[in-house]
Chain A
């Protein structure tokens, strides 16, 4: 079977999973789901299931990693062995090390690290079920977990991808679209200012297509940002209700 010839999108703009070109997959976010972590978040994004937990600010060890002027942000993206079609060997590989790095850097930009010299803020992202777009899901979940942990931030970062399939620019690539599409453009932004915190692209886009995809991803980010805020509000409201009891 020649899967690369698979028709990913119809001429009417209908995609394999029935979405239109500008539709996101279904997203569900729960804040504060873990007991031991300082902050946590469970996120489902289409077929992705991601759990993020924040520990800190706490003393950075080993000590040579400490920065006397600000906190370091250490995100660790990890995929469960059973999260993908063929079992993944446990432990970090080159891909997850890279993703951990770009996510750390994106989060570092919005966290008020200067308030916590010599400290470390550890963000652990576990991908439990994977179906394209795990880095966006991971970063989005990490942001909510940071809020849940009460880490001071300039903004709540958010991430979303756009891409190109069968000649059409579309939002939020699904599994087949990611594997057999033409291009993928994940970004993360600070939604209040529009600053870009993460940007990666693979595939082939014209400048015109890039601009379209980028604008589409920005819009996607704003939508996801609202869902993040609702999740956080819901957590606060449930805590408030508990206190009143």
Chain B
């Protein structure tokens, strides 16, 4: 980094001493968040999230493949992030660097550890075939706080994902179909309906209801990130704030107000009080973001 961040640091800290930020926000407020889902037709689920000028696109693709030997009846998920050179003058093409891998892993952990996707319900035939869920995150415009934007985009995309049964039904044999139908009964208990709607099957003579199914999910936790610059704690850092930040803390909270994941980054430190401040801000902002997400999903 060059001299520019040093000058900006002066400016940002001077403003912070007066309780201000460069874009006029208060310390614990977010920039405008905009969530748009179903933006990519070819994807099983997709979402574009804008937080201020930061723009992230997430697409979900699904496939049928082999389970891991130690979890033969569990679906498989994997997350990848691409810092495409479109998004910033500092991003270069080529295999993912450290920052892309960290981001993908943090998003992956947020989804995996809180068991947002009910992977145990994505088994087609135990030990042989399970659904694979690929979460691909594309950074389109980088103006800070990729953690929150990417996590939110991944959740919004997953929540709109339809399991592409119709595309894969032809690849399954009789046994696998029967097994998957049992699974479906379990997943989508529809009161009063014995016959579980099965996937589209053009070759079948008895035309059952033809439909792809929503990915089985539970209510997801929402991540909120704050950075520390000198003794100030700023939520949703923009690019200029992020590059001079001493420390960063991401806190994921669920709808009951419990903590579900945390990740500290950068070389600075937090005091106990500061951590509590971040947790409180994460709870408040998390509520707001959850509301927005549900609104966008039509709930």
Contacts and interface: CB of A to CB of B under 8 A. Distances in A.
A184 B234 CA distance: 54
A87 B53 contact: no
Overall SS of chain A's interface = loop
B42 A82 contact: yes
Nearest to B53: A35
Interface in B98-152: 134, 136, 138, 140-143
Given A37-B86, A81-B61, A82-B59, A90 B42 contact: no
A80 B89 contact: no
Contacts of B93: 76, 78, 92, 124
A126 interface: yes
A45 interface: no
Given A85-B42, A87-B63, 7 more contacts: A36-B53, A80-B57, A81-B82, A83-B59, A86-B63, A87-B61, A124-B84
Contacts of B202: 1
B59 A80 contact: yes
Contacts of A34: 55, 86-87, 140-141
Interface in A126-156: 126, 128-131
A83 B40 contact: yes
A36 B59 contact: no
Interface in B1-53: 39-44, 46, 53
B134 A87 contact: yes
Contacts of B138: 80, 126, 128
A131 B43 CA distance: 12
Interface of B: 39-44, 46, 53, 55, 57, 59-61, 63, 80, 82, 84-89, 93-96, 134, 136, 138, 140-143, 167, 202, 239
A25 B95 CA distance: 35
Interface stretch (A48-56, A63-71, A191-199, A217-225): A48-56
A203 interface: no
A47 interface: yes
A81 B40 contact: no
B41 A47 contact: yes
Given A82-B40, A82-B42, A126-B86, A51 B61 contact: no
A85 B93 CA distance: 24
B42 A53 contact: no
Contacts of B46: 82
A53 B86 CA distance: 5
A201 interface: no
A55 B40 contact: no
Interface in A1-29: 1
A81 B63 CA distance: 13
A128 B48 CA distance: 11
A130 B63 CA distance: 18
Contacts of B41: 47, 129, 131
A101 interface: no
Contacts of A36: 53, 87-89, 141-143, 239
27 contacts: A34-B141, A35-B53, A35-B141, A36-B141, A47-B41, A47-B42, A49-B39, A52-B86, A53-B87, A76-B93, A80-B82, A81-B59, A81-B61, A81-B82, A82-B43, A82-B46, A82-B60, A83-B40, A83-B43, A83-B59, A87-B63, A87-B134, A90-B96, A124-B84, A124-B85, A126-B84, A131-B41
